[in-house]
Amino acid sequence: MKSINPATGEIIQEYQEHSSQEVQSIIHQVDLDWQDWKSTSFSERAVMMKNAARILRERKAEFARLMTAEMGKRLLESEAEIEKCAWVCEFYAEKAEEFLRDEEIVSDASRSFVAFQPLGVILAVMPWNFPFWQVIRFAAPALMAGNAAVLKHASNVPGCALAIEAIFREAGFPLDLFRTLLIPSSGVEAVVAHPHVAAVTLTGSEAAGSHVASLAGRHLKKTVLELGGADPFIVLEDADLDLAVKTAVTARMINQGQSCIAAKRFIVAEQVALPFERALKTAFESLRMGDPMDQDTQVGPLARPDLVDEIESQVNRSVDAGARLVAGGHRPDLKGCYFEPTILADVRKGMAVYDEETFGPVVSIITVKNAEEAVAVANDSAFGLGGCVWTSDLQRGEAIARRVETGAMFVNGMTRSDPRLPFGGIKKSGYGRELGSHGIREFVNIKTIWIG
C-alpha cells in the first residue's frame, strides 16, 4: 500500500497490508476491548474524548502536513479540518449523555421507557477527501455511545489512518478499541461478514455504497451511507450577487472541488446570469494554483491521476455536447495532478456535468427563467445530499429550501457540515444521518423497556 504525494508524484511511504489472519485477530481484539468499554460511564468516555481533542489541536501542524502530503489538500484547509475534528470530539464529549438519556414514554405500564445501548464493533469504510474529518465525525459519536470501531480507510491515505488510531490510544482509550485495517477494497467483504462486526458506515461513491450495502444486507447488518452529491447552488434574481459570487468560489473550490457537498450545479435566474458568470470568471482566473504546502496557494492538485482524467473527460464531453467553455478547461503545465479551475455555461440535461457528479474544480452554470424552474432543475438529479438558495426574501428562500429534495438546504449560505446538525442525504446520496443527536443514535440499540 503506497502513499503518493499528488503534488509531486513521489512515493512518501509504503505500508505492508494486513493479512486475512491479522484482520481476524484485530477484530477479535477490538471486540474484547468493547466488552469492557460498553459498561464505562459517559463521564469516563468524555475524559478520553476531550484528550483526543487536545492532541489534535496540539499536533495540528503535524497532522495537517501529513494530510496535505498524502492527498493534496491545501495546508490551510488541512489545519481547518483538524480544528473541526477537535470540535466534534468536544461536542460529543459534552452532549453524548444528554442525547442518549433514557426516554420516558407513557403507556399502560407502571413505567415504560426507551434505552439507547451500544451495538458493538462498527466497521467504517472511509474516503480520502477529508481523511481526518470523515473518520473522526463517525468515531467521536460511536465511541461516546459505547461502541468500538475498525477503520478501512482509502488506500492512498494510510498514514492518516494510522495517525488517527494512534491519537485514540494516546488519548487513553483501550489499546484495541479503535483499530485501522490496512486492507484493499477486496478485503471488506470478510470484515462485513465477521460475526463480531455489528454494523457498517460508509462514505464514498455510489458504486462503493451499493456494494457494501448489499454485503451488509446479506449478513443482516445495519448500514449508514453518505455517498455522492450534485448539490444545487440556486441564485435568484433578487440575490446579493456579490456575496453569492464570493461564496460560490469557496463552495465550489473547497478541497479543489473534491467534496460531496461542494456546490456543483449553479442554477441561476436569467436576469442575473450574465453578471454572475462574468464575476465568477474574474474570480476564477485570479486563483493561484501551486504547491498545497504554500500558504499563498489557492488551488492545489487533485488527489490522484485518475481523478484528473475523469474530470477532464467530463468537461470535454460536455463541451462536445454544446456547453460553452468560459474559463479553464485544461491541465496546466505543472508537475502533479492539477486541473484548471473551470467554468462551463449553457449547461443542460444530457451533458456529463449536468447528469454526473463532478469531483473537481468545475462549475456548471444552468440558466433558468424563474424560481419554479430553478426548483425543478435542482430536483432533476439522481442525488440529494445538500444545496443552497440565494435570495433577499428569507420567506421565499425557506419555501424553496423545503421543496428541494436534499438532506440539507441552506438559505444565503454555503452547504457545510456542523457537529450540531444532522448530516446525510436521500436518493443516490445515501441514507441515515451523521452528527447531531440523530447521528449518535444511528449505531445504538433503541430498546423499549416495559415495567408492569
> Is 98 found in the same domain as 26?
yes
Residue 226 annotated as catalytic: yes
Short-list 70, 17, 310, CA closest to 186: 17
Written as one letter, the residue type at 54 is R
> Is 187 found in the same domain as 44?
yes
Cβ 223 vs Cβ 200: under 8 Å: yes
> What pLDDT shows up at residue 72?
97
Instruction: Name the β-bridge partners of 55.
Output: none
Q: Is 320 buried (19+), middle (13-18) or exposed (0-12) by CB count in 10 A?
A: exposed
> Is 108 found in the same domain as 39?
yes
151-165 pLDDT, tens per residue?
Answer: 999 999 999 999 999
- Reported as a pLDDT band with limits 50, 70 and 90, residue 328 is very high
Q: Is residue 336 part of a domain?
A: yes
> Is 19 found in the same domain as 146?
yes
155-198 pLDDT, tens per residue?
Answer: 999 999 999 999 999 999 999 999 999 999 999 999 999 999 99
Short-list 444, 387, 435, CA closest to 91: 435
> Is 380 found in the same domain as 241?
yes
Cβ 37 vs Cβ 148: under 8 Å: yes
Q: Is residue 392 part of a domain?
A: yes
Per-residue three-class SS string for the chain: CEEECCCCCCEEEECCCCCHHHHHHHHHHHHHHHHHHCCCCHHHHHHHHHHHHHHHHHCHHHHHHHHHHHHCCCHHHHHHHHHHHHHHHHHHHHHHHHHCCCEECCCCCCEEEEEEEECCEEEEECCCCCCCHHHHHHHHHHHHCCCEEEEECCCCCHHHHHHHHHHHHHCCCCCCCEEECCCCHHHHHHHHHCCCEEEEEEECCHHHHHHHHHHHHHCCCEEEEECCCCEEEEECCCCCHHHHHHHHHHHHHHHHHCCCCCEEEEEEECCCHHHHHHHHHHHHHCCCECCCCCCCCCECCCCCHHHHHHHHHHHHHHHHCCCEEEECCCCCCCCCCCCCCEEEECCCCCCHHHHCCCCCCEEEEEEECCHHHHHHHHHCCCEECCCEEECCCHHHHHHHHHHCCCCCCEECCCCCCCCCCCECCEECCEECCECHHHHHCCCEEEEEEEEC
> Is 176 found in the same domain as 282?
no
Q: Residue 29 contacts by C-beta under 8 Å, 6 or more apart in sequence?
A: 176, 179
Q: Is residue 424 part of a domain?
A: no
> Is 271 found in the same domain as 201?
no
> Is 322 found in the same domain as 356?
yes
Q: Is residue 63 part of a domain?
A: yes
Write the CATH number for 300. Answer: 3.40.309.10
> Is 173 found in the same domain as 239?
no
Structural domain including 245 reads 231-418
Residue 388 annotated as catalytic: no
Of 226, 310, 340, 357, which one is the catalytic site residue? 226
Q: Residue 276 contacts by C-beta under 8 Å, 6 or more apart in sequence?
A: 235, 241, 244, 245, 266, 268, 365
> What pLDDT shows up at residue 89?
98
Q: Is residue 49 part of a domain?
A: yes
Q: Is residue 423 part of a domain?
A: no
> What pLDDT shows up at residue 339?
98
> What pLDDT shows up at residue 403?
98
Q: Is residue 180 part of a domain?
A: yes
Write the CATH number for 11. Answer: 3.40.605.10
Average pLDDT over the chain, rounded to an integer: 98
Q: Residue 101 contacts by C-beta under 8 Å, 6 or more apart in sequence?
A: none
> What pLDDT shows up at residue 270?
98
> Is 331 found in the same domain as 433?
no
- Reported as a pLDDT band with limits 50, 70 and 90, residue 90 is very high
201-233 pLDDT, tens per residue?
Answer: 999 999 999 999 999 999 999 999 999 999 999
> Is 154 found in the same domain as 191?
yes
Of 260, 310, 388, 442, which one is the catalytic site residue? 260
Number of structural domains (the chain) is 2
CA distance 311 to 340: 10
- Reported as a pLDDT band with limits 50, 70 and 90, residue 352 is very high
Written as one letter, the residue type at 417 is S
> Is 357 found in the same domain as 275?
yes
Q: Residue 190 contacts by C-beta under 8 Å, 6 or more apart in sequence?
A: 20, 23
> What pLDDT shows up at residue 449?
98
CA distance 421 to 299: 29
Cβ 431 vs Cβ 406: under 8 Å: no
pTM above 0.95, yes or no: yes
Mean pLDDT for 378-407 is 98
Q: Is residue 390 part of a domain?
A: yes
CA distance 450 to 115: 11
121-125 and 148-152 beta bridge pairing:
parallel
